[in-house]
Amino acid sequence: MWPLVRCSTEEVAGSRPGLAFTVFGVVRAWRDGTELDVGSPQQRLTLAVLLQAEGRMVQIPEIIRAIWGEDAPPAARGTVRTYVYRLRKLLDEGAEPDEAVLRSDGVGYRLVLTEEQLDLSRFLGSVRSAESAVAAGERRQAVAMLRAAVEELREEPLLGIPGEWAETERRRLGRLAVRTVELLAEQQLGLDGRIDVLDLLTAVAEAEPLRERVHELMMLALCREGRPAEALAVYEKVRAALREELGVDPGLALRELHARVLREDPALSSPAAVAHDHPAPSARPAPMPAALTVFAGREAELAELNAVLADPAAVRTVVVHGTAGVGKTTFVVQWADRVASLFPDGQFYVNLRGFESQGAAREPDEVLRELLDALGVPAAHRPSDLDGLSRLYRGALTDRRLLLVLDNARDSQQVLPLLAEAPGCVVVITSRRELTALVASTGAHSVKLGLLDTDEAVALMALRLGDRRVRDELPAVRAIATACAHLPLALAVASARIASNPDLRLSHIALQLTREDEPGLDFLCTDDPRSDVRSVLSWSYRALSPQAARMFTLLALLPLSRTTTATAASLAALPLARTGAVLRELSTLCLVNEGQACQYTWHDLLREYAAELLADTVDAGEQQAARRRLVDHYLLLARNASLRLKPTDDLPDLPSIAPGVTEQPVDDLRSALATFTTEHGTLLALVDSAAGRGTESRSWQLAWYLRLYLDSAFLWEDMAAINQVALRRAEAAGDLQGVGYTHRSLARAAAMLDDADGAAAHLDAAVEAFRAAGARRAEGYAHAQAANWLIYTGRVEAGLERAELARALFQETNSREQEEVLREVTAFAHIKAGRYRDVVATLRGSLAPDYDSGSMIDLLRKIEHLSAAYEELGEYRKSAELHELSLKVILEITGSEWARFPYGFEERFTGVSFLLARTLYLAGDDARAMAVQREALKRLHELFVKHHRPVASQHPDRARVGEALANLDVLAGSEPDHAWFAASVEVVEDLAALMAPTGTFHYLVELRKGNQLPLAKARAARCSTGA
């Protein structure tokens, strides 16, 4: 059949200005008449796939299938990105991003071309125009447009490209070419004048010898030309071919035409209306889709909808909104099925196409006309304007009881004219947007669908896979649900893939989904855009403004799926107010969830999708700049928060901060602790990713500013891990100060993890590094830390000698912070040496300045030293007063909101409560001592259940731990007396002794050391007096 016209590709494409492309013939590209080298055969095929899409977004898996079929190599995705990168350089050289021809728009790539730049687009555009002319009865215009279309059919499409995809496309375009020639012949035969399509029909008939319609048109054309004998020969030829190939005779239409030729029907010599009609598809309100039997969860949200029905005063409009794939349509259809009996006048369902891959969102006037048709309102005398149609529609709903579901709404403006006012009618709208304007103006009820919880996700998979299969591999099912972000669409797709292979173990699927080199979105890919998770997410992305789209992609740089307004402002280098507006736009489209205090979160599939966008749409330079701003933002945040925990000059100088960073304030100690509790996961991850050219210091500085929080949270393993990373980075960069600071943190971690030799070695290495760097103040603090360690391990005099070295190094700066560090070292030495009066003398008067300056951690430590000294001196009431002060300070910091603060505060509060009970008991205040002890026992039991049960379950002596815990529970509920108090002390000691090897209950282990002797004396005194 090819070529249908005699004209070279070069003559046409090569003469066009700017870029020009061809797919009929070899896939080629020109710029201003000069042919471009489009690269290797596979790169040419990549270009072909993009050209064939005609501006549609092409997903990477689609390109992969076109190139490799089902045998794609592991690195296929990266290879495709390389091809696209090279094509982009070739086609968009020097172009601005918004002027680029080859663009990434979320789910894949697309070519933005005018119709004139591509022969396929010119061909299809002419065919579409011709079909419109046919529908309007403009036959001559249709002929002209069809001639223009045929002019593009110079050669076989995709010439020289092998493979199944190319062959399928060639067949498709070949069929379209045949139909175009037929349509041209049909329209020309309906006009007066000479018929000049015989050559085209002959070429098509030779290529399609069994196609009856083309032979019928050839016979009609020959008869119009006065050549009936040739028409009869055409008939005999096709009849013989049909007999030989298929064993059948020609169809009725061809046989009747043959008979007319034989009887010399004069009508065959005149124009005949042979063109077929092309009716436009109708789009009427559909009946409600069937409710799925595999539906789980959402009971609270279903109850919300039921409450709207039950309340006669409620507005009869509900907006159900949520992120893409969260199951809004399924949820509403499920509810509609349950309440169908309440709507005797029926239920209507309209897909508004607000977010879809193809086709524009439906206009309200179009939908109103269809609803009026469905309601039986005559078309005659309907108003043409939107307001008039809306009034007519609402009037038609009077006294009716029906449910209207407006699915997939684009925005409030699209649905406002479609709302019902009749009290018996309910309108339920689903949208990815919150439709705030509609809710505000109408009082509509808003229902947000979130992700399923773990139990709901497992229940949904059990309905799809069967209870037994899920029950047998429950951990794997939970892992799959997590990998699917508990998103109903993702769970449905994953379940469908799993169900198709019943022999596949769920643990293998879980492993595949959790591997970083196996993106979950690829596993969740389907051949239907409406169920393909990547495609569904892309429709939300495409609705974003350019600034919001950029923000969404940059969020992929965050280590975790959460951010704050200030962090996002730094990431995108935007003003804070503008960032808030951009994040609200993302929240409105449910691409992020807005929480309290300007916190935003999103699920992991959105994160993965944003990462793909980042790789495809943001160049490496911009990514690096954004990463630098992100790290600098967190460096400032961690430094500010650390200084709220402990005001000090024991810290390095800040590096130069990148332009565009927004500093996030930390107002007080509580804010600092809350910040670290929320952000420590992000900060830990950034320590590892902060290294880059000239930015190595950020890695160890982040680790340094984290140390106080990690210490208070008892996260010494984390402290060790990140500082090992930071140390390697500092050593590689030759940064001696960084080496010193990381060794100090490693020393603290080693000390708390019972590695005495490691702690000493790290402290010596820190001193040496600071000395080599000439950092005298930092060296002084390292000596002070070493002094504390020596004193803790019983080498008091050696510790005091190191403190004097620190004092000498501090002489140049001599800050209050340095004085207080040395004061505390001295007090600690007196404690260990048994010089308790000296402890009191050293620390007297230092508590108030610490409180006033906000040095609460230092304050608590000094109170600990003073209270211990007073207890050893027998001044129990003074010791008790200090313990009460300690409890007061802890409550002032935390407000008893233990979950928001490091674990150490909760354990410290419990430990100090026991110390208070002990000193009250020793002071003879038995009633108060027993009351405090009883509350402390209850708190200890709660602490154990909340934090230590998993560790206890692995204890080698689980039975004794269980017995101690049971005794603890019994004593907490018993009436106290002296025997009770002694028993409670023993139970706490037993539990602390059992848990000490596990590295837990640090404060209780310290408490145990001081319990035995003084309490034994107190019991003896009680017994001697008969108390």
Whole-number Å distance between alpha carbons of 851 and 720: 30
Summarize the confidence of residues 146-168 as an average pLDDT. 91
The single-letter DSSP state of residue 46 is H
Q: What percent of the chain has pLDDT over 70?
A: 92
Whole-number Å distance between alpha carbons of 717 and 873: 37
> Pairing mode, if any, of strands 426-431 and 317-321?
parallel
The single-letter DSSP state of residue 116 is G
Whole-number Å distance between alpha carbons of 645 and 268: 99
Burial environment of residue 761 by CB neighbours within 10 A (0 to 12, 13 to 18, 19 or more): middle
Contact predicate 370/349, CB 8 Å: no
CATH number (1.10.150.120, 3.60.20.10, 3.30.160.270, 1.10.10.10) of 544-618 reads 1.10.10.10
Whole-number Å distance between alpha carbons of 792 and 579: 50
Predicted confidence at residue 1017, as pLDDT, reads 52
Residue 570: φ, ψ to 5°: -65, -45
Predicted confidence at residue 598, as pLDDT, reads 81
Residue 1011 has pLDDT above 60, yes or no: no
HSE (side-chain half, CA atoms, 13 Å) at 486: 17
Q: Does domain 10-115 have CATH number 1.10.10.10?
A: yes
Whole-number Å distance between alpha carbons of 381 and 375: 16
Q: Does domain 622-771 have CATH number 3.30.450?
A: no
> Pairing mode, if any, of strands 347-351 and 403-409?
parallel
Q: Which CATH architecture fits 192-275?
A: Alpha Horseshoe (1.25)
Burial environment of residue 26 by CB neighbours within 10 A (0 to 12, 13 to 18, 19 or more): middle
Whole-number Å distance between alpha carbons of 295 and 299: 11
Contact predicate 933/922, CB 8 Å: no
Reported as a single tens digit per residue, the pLDDT across 381-404 is 788 888 989 999 999 998 888 999
Cα angle 314, 315, 317 (rounded to 5 degrees) comes to 130
Q: DSSP states of 325-364 as a string? A: TS-HHHHHHHHHHHTGGG-TT-EEEEE--SS-SSSPPPPH
Q: Would you place residue 1026 in the very low, low, confident or very high pLDDT band (cuts 50, 70, 90)?
A: very low
Reported as a single tens digit per residue, the pLDDT across 782-810 is 999 999 999 999 999 999 999 999 999 99
Better-predicted residue by pLDDT, 12 or 654: 654
Strand order of the sheet with strand 34-36?
19-22, 28-31, 34-36
Whole-number Å distance between alpha carbons of 242 and 249: 6
Whole-number Å distance between alpha carbons of 706 and 722: 10
User: Of the segments 273-287, 464-478, 794-808, which one has the largest average pLDDT value?
Assistant: 794-808
Q: Tokens 């139990």 appear where?
A: 455
Contact predicate 26/36, CB 8 Å: no
**Which residues, listed in sequence order, are joined to residue 58 by a DSSP beta bridge?**
109
Whole-number Å distance between alpha carbons of 684 and 669: 21
Reported as a single tens digit per residue, the pLDDT across 873-884 is 999 999 999 999
Whole-number Å distance between alpha carbons of 320 and 327: 10
CATH of domain 299-448: 3.40.50.300
Residue 22: φ, ψ to 5°: -135, 145
| Neighbour tally for 535: CB within 10 Å | 22
Q: Tokens 């909101």 appear where?
A: 897
Contact predicate 73/36, CB 8 Å: no
Summarize the confidence of residues 687-697 as an average pLDDT. 71
Residue 943 has pLDDT above 80, yes or no: yes
Q: Would you place residue 284 in the very low, low, confident or very high pLDDT band (cuts 50, 70, 90)?
A: very low
Q: In the structure encoding, which two tokens stand for residue 269, read together?
A: 């010599």
Residue 273 has pLDDT above 50, yes or no: no
Reported as a single tens digit per residue, the pLDDT across 723-738 is 999 999 999 999 999 9
The torsion angle over the Cα atoms of residues 97, 101, 102 and 103, rounded to 10 degrees, is: 50
Whole-number Å distance between alpha carbons of 336 and 745: 61
Predicted confidence at residue 693, as pLDDT, reads 52
Reported as a single tens digit per residue, the pLDDT across 165-179 is 898 888 888 888 998
- Lowest model confidence (mean pLDDT) among 409-418, 751-760, 991-1000: 991-1000
Residue 656 has pLDDT above 70, yes or no: yes
Q: In the structure encoding, which two tokens stand for residue 35, read together?
A: 């042919």
User: For 226, left (φ over 0), alpha (ψ -120 to 50), or beta?
Assistant: left
Q: DSSP states of 373-432 as a string? A: HHTT--STT--SSHHHHHHHHHHHTTT---EEEEEEE--HHHHGGG---STT-EEEEEES
Whole-number Å distance between alpha carbons of 535 and 526: 9
- Lowest model confidence (mean pLDDT) among 236-240, 666-670, 927-931, 1010-1014: 1010-1014
Contact predicate 733/696, CB 8 Å: yes
**Which residues, listed in sequence order, are joined to residue 406 by a DSSP beta bridge?**
350, 429
Predicted confidence at residue 245, as pLDDT, reads 84
Reported as a single tens digit per residue, the pLDDT across 901-924 is 888 888 889 999 999 999 999 999
CA 416 vs CA 52, 317, 410, 421: distances in Å: 39, 11, 11, 11
Contact predicate 202/208, CB 8 Å: no
Q: Would you place residue 504 in the very low, low, confident or very high pLDDT band (cuts 50, 70, 90)?
A: confident
Of 148, 159, 141, 142, nearest in space to 123 by CA: 148
Residue 308: φ, ψ to 5°: -65, -40
CA 337 vs CA 375, 405, 427, 698: distances in Å: 21, 12, 15, 58
Q: Would you place residue 521 in the very low, low, confident or very high pLDDT band (cuts 50, 70, 90)?
A: confident
Whole-number Å distance between alpha carbons of 389 and 972: 73
Q: Would you place residue 692 in the very low, low, confident or very high pLDDT band (cuts 50, 70, 90)?
A: low
3-state secondary structure of 899: helix
Q: DSSP states of 941-979 as a string? A: HHHIIIIIHHHHHT-TTHHHHHHHHHHHHHHHTSPP-HH
Give, for 319, the enclosing helix (H) or strand (E).
strand 317-321
Reported as a single tens digit per residue, the pLDDT across 953-966 is 777 777 887 887 88
Residue 694 has pLDDT above 70, yes or no: no
3-state secondary structure of 540: helix
Q: In the structure encoding, which two tokens stand for residue 40, read together?
A: 């290797």
Query: In the predicted model, what is the mean pLDDT of the chain?
Result: 87
Residue 270: φ, ψ to 5°: -115, 165
Alpha helices in 656-695 (DSSP H): 669-689
**659 cis-preceded (ω within 30 degrees of 0):** no
Helices 876-894, 669-689: crossing angle, 10 deg rounding: 70
The single-letter DSSP state of residue 313 is T
Whole-number Å distance between alpha carbons of 639 and 641: 6
Summarize the confidence of residues 839-863 as an average pLDDT. 89
Predicted confidence at residue 349, as pLDDT, reads 92
Whole-number Å distance between alpha carbons of 541 and 558: 18
> Pairing mode, if any, of strands 599-601 and 19-22?
unpaired
CA 579 vs CA 392, 557, 630, 810: distances in Å: 44, 16, 14, 44
Contact predicate 19/113, CB 8 Å: yes
Burial 859-890 (b: 16+ CB within 10 A, else e): bbbbbbbbbbbbbbeebbebbbbbbbbbbebb
Measure CA 1025 to chain center: 70
Contact predicate 345/400, CB 8 Å: yes
pTM, entire model: 0.73
Strand order of the sheet with strand 108-111?
58-59, 108-111, 102-104
